[in-house]
Amino acid sequence: MKKVKVGIVGLGRLGRKHAENLAFRIPHCELTAVCSVVEEEVQEVMDEWNIPYGYTKYEDMLANQDLDAIFIASPSNFHCEQIKQALSLGFHVFSEKPLGLYVEEALDVERAVKAHPNQVFMLGFMRRYDRSYMAAKEKIEAGVIGEPFLIRCYGLDPASKMDSFLKFARANYSGGLFLDMSIHDFDLARWYLGAEAKEVWAIGGSYARPEFDEIEDAETGAAMVRFEKNAIGIFVAGRNCAHGYHIETEIIGTKGTLRIGTVPERNQVVIMKDEGVIQECVDGFLERFEQAYLSEAEEFINCILENRKPAITVEDGVQSTILGYSCKKSYETGQLIKVNA
Ligand code: NAI
């Protein structure tokens, strides 16, 4: 069978994991080119993994006619332009979330994707490929909890990463707490509830670290969202989780409840000693979603080979961005905001 030849842009925290999956763990995929503005990153990956092409300029990688597909794991402010460039040159494109940092950028990408209907475009909402989240979706579709009407999501980053986030955020615009942290939760809410958001009220602040006030962002925040069919969404996002990386989701239906990740344990080991009974916590997204990152990349490659489209659409990216911006607006103004208005 033909192999899909992929070039990846971005070799940072997540890009390197994607690159490793594409290079070694997907049978009909070949990681043919890597690109990063940091030359040492490019050289290191080329040498260690025997990758034939390396670039420090994205445009140079796009000129490589050997490639079939481009995988984008660069910082969020580059996604919109890089997606559009790759699509216009005929490549299949996978992009990390978000589509862009502004609603206009997301809509711009949507137009570009629609203008290239014969190319595969996939957005990195990897939780939809996580085994537990997939099992929850199957239970909902089988009617196990009746009609789902409430979703409660926690998206909490470890306190140990707060200093590096503050350093990043002083120099870069991240989109703010809700757009950066809750976008996967917004996507899950739409997916599980089968409904779009109508209005939102978001609050938050700085509790442990006043520096968040200086960058005009919330350290921890909560948004309450009314969805179509009068369904309810409660989203808690934060960057100061003392025990580690805590991603938890609860879906309440008319006949029952599902919970995913209630205890964010690293493994099944329970330590019992003088400090008490302890379960260690996962420390970040790479550990918690290792399987999902591989499964989403497999799906992207399979879609190309089988000439079909992934279930996640560009509209999913647009709607989640719109909801994220509405939360940001509500947080900043203190007002109840109509989503889409
Ligand atoms: P990072 O800062 O660790 O890495 C960024 C990489 O892009 C570096 O290799 C850097 O040298 C390279 N780069 C920067 N500007 C470039 C340019 N103009 N052209 C080519 N390369 C360039 O970032 P991280 O944490 O890996 O995040 C990357 C993206 O992935 C972000 O958009 C982020 O939102 C998303 N992300 C998604 C997650 C998920 O769970 N789906 C989790 C973490 C990040």
From the CB of residue 227, how many other CB atoms can be counted at a distance below 10 Å? 23
Ligand 1 pocket member 75 (CB < 6 A): yes
Which atom of ligand 1 lies nearest, measured to the CA of 79?
A: 32
- Mutate which of 74, 101, 123, 173 for ligand 1 pocket (most atoms within 8 A of beta carbon): 74
Nearest alpha-carbon partner for 258 in 144, 334, 161: 144
Cα 20 to averaged position of ligand 1 atoms, centre (Å): 15
Contact of 158 with 194, CB cutoff 8 Å: no
The residue nearest atom 20 of ligand 1, judged by CA position, is 36
What is the 8-class DSSP label of residue 3? P
Cα 96 to averaged position of ligand 1 atoms, centre (Å): 8
Q: How many CA atoms lie within 13 A of 330 on its CB side?
A: 27
Q: What is the pLDDT of residue 341?
A: 58
Ligand 1 pocket member 284 (CB < 6 A): no
Q: What is the pLDDT of residue 266?
A: 96
Whole-number Å distance between alpha carbons of 339 and 341: 5
- Mutate which of 96, 164, 296 for ligand 1 pocket (most atoms within 8 A of beta carbon): 96
Which atom of ligand 1 lies nearest, measured to the CA of 180?
A: 34
Q: How far is CA 306 from CA 84, 120, 271, 335, in A?
A: 23, 11, 47, 47
Asked if residue 98 has a cis previous peptide bond (ω within 30° of 0), the answer is yes
The residue nearest atom 32 of ligand 1, judged by CA position, is 76
Cα 145 to averaged position of ligand 1 atoms, centre (Å): 38
Q: What is the pLDDT of residue 54?
A: 98
Cα 286 to averaged position of ligand 1 atoms, centre (Å): 13
Ligand 1 pocket member 58 (CB < 6 A): yes
Which amino acid belongs to residue 291?
Answer: Q
Q: Got the DSSP string for 63-75?
A: T-TT-SEEEE-S-
> Which helix (H) or strand (E) segment is 85 a member of?
helix 76-88
Pairing of strands 246-253, 232-241: unpaired
> From first to last of its 341 residues, what are the pLDDT tens digits of the chain?
789 999 999 999 999 999 999 999 999 999 999 999 999 999 999 999 999 999 999 999 999 999 999 999 999 999 999 999 999 999 999 999 999 999 999 999 999 999 999 999 999 999 999 999 999 999 999 999 999 999 999 999 999 999 999 999 999 888 999 999 999 999 999 999 999 999 999 999 999 999 999 999 999 999 999 999 999 999 999 999 999 999 999 999 999 999 999 999 999 999 999 999 999 999 999 999 999 999 999 999 999 999 999 999 999 999 999 999 999 999 999 999 999 85
Which atom of ligand 1 lies nearest, measured to the CA of 289?
A: 40
The residue nearest atom 1 of ligand 1, judged by CA position, is 12
The residue nearest atom 21 of ligand 1, judged by CA position, is 36
Kindly provide the residue ranges of all beta strands, DSSP E only, lying in the chain, ordered along the sequence: 4-9, 29-35, 53-55, 69-72, 92-95, 121-123, 148-158, 197-205, 220-227, 232-241, 246-253, 256-260, 271-273, 276-278, 337-338
Ordered structural domains, the chain, with CATH: 4-127+292-310 (3.40.50.720), 128-288+320-338 (3.30.360.10)
Cα 13 to averaged position of ligand 1 atoms, centre (Å): 7
Q: What is the pLDDT of residue 1?
A: 78
Q: How far is CA 33 from CA 6, 63, 112, 156, in A?
A: 7, 11, 24, 34
Tokens 């070694």, residue?
24
Whole-number Å distance between alpha carbons of 128 and 189: 11
Residue 70 β-bridge partners: 7, 93
- Mutate which of 11, 18, 36 for ligand 1 pocket (most atoms within 8 A of beta carbon): 36
Ligand 1 pocket member 286 (CB < 6 A): no
Cα 139 to averaged position of ligand 1 atoms, centre (Å): 34
Ligand 1 pocket member 9 (CB < 6 A): yes
Tell me the residue length of the chain. 341
